[in-house]
Every structure is written in structure tokens, then in C-alpha cells.
Structure 1
Amino acid sequence: MIYKVIYQTSSYEVPVRERTQSLYIEADSQKEVRQKLSDRNYNIEFIQPLDGAHLEYEKQSEAFQLETV
């Protein structure tokens, strides 16, 4: 399954909406997503599973690039 991860680049700063970033990653569960990203110093705000029409919509975005971990 593909997940969209909403995060801040530093876990040491207060989250600011304008600095929020997202990435797309393939994993079997949200727990596995967190494990794959554990070596990065991200403040993960939200992990959203994507499927069906929502996944197709996200694929049309220029920002859609599947992260390899």
C-alpha cells in the first residue's frame, strides 16, 4: 500500500503550517512507515493510506514521487 506522510523536517522545532512537507512511501502498515523513516529526524504529523481514486488523484500531482527507503 502507498502512504502519504505529512511531516516537518525537524522534530526539535514547533510545527509551522508553511513548512509542512509531504512524501509518498510504500509499506505494509503505518508502523512500517514509521520504522522506515525512523533514521530521519522528521516530526511526522500524519500518515494517510492512499488507494483507489484518491491514489490516482495524488499520482497526477507534480509532487508525487515514491520514496525509496
Structure 2
Amino acid sequence: MIFKVFYQEDQSEIPVRERTKSLFIEAETEREVRNKLVDRKLNIEFIQKLDDAHLEYEKQSGNFVLETA
């Protein structure tokens, strides 16, 4: 499964929409996503599991890069 992770780069930063970034990562569960990203010290706002249609949309957007963790 592919997940989209919305995050802030600084853990102490209050989530502000304009500074929210996202990444894509492959994992079986949301917990596995969090475990893969724990060493990056990100302030994770939301983790979204992508269905097939959403994944295709993200791939066509030009911003899709699958992280390897």
C-alpha cells in the first residue's frame, strides 16, 4: 500500500497549511509508516492511505516520488 504523509519539518513547529509538506511511502500499515519515519524527527500531521484512483492522480501530478525508508 502507498501512504501519503503530511508533515512539518520541525517537530516543535505548529502545523500551518502553507508550510505543510508531503511525502509518499510504501508500507502495510500506518504504524509501519510511523516506524519508518521515526528517525527523521518530523511533525506528522496526517497519514492517508491512497486508493487506486488517488494514487493515479498523484502520479500524474508530477510531484510523486516514492520514498525508500
TM-score (norm 1): 0.95
Cross-structure match for 1:47? 47
Counterparts of 1:1-69 in structure 2 under 5 Å?
Answer: 1-69=1-69
Number of residue-to-residue matches in the alignment? 69
Q: Pairwise CA RMSD of aligned residues?
A: 0.7
Q: CA deviation at 1:43?
A: 0.5
Segment of structure 1 superposing worse, 52-61 or 19-28:
52-61
Q: CA deviation at 1:35?
A: 0.1
Percent identical among aligned pairs is 67
Structure 1, unaligned stretches of length 5 or more?
A: none
- Distance in 2 of aligned mates of 1:26 and 1:65: 11
- Runs of 4+ deviating beyond 3 Å: none
More helix per residue: 2
- Distance in 2 of aligned mates of 1:68 and 1:58: 17
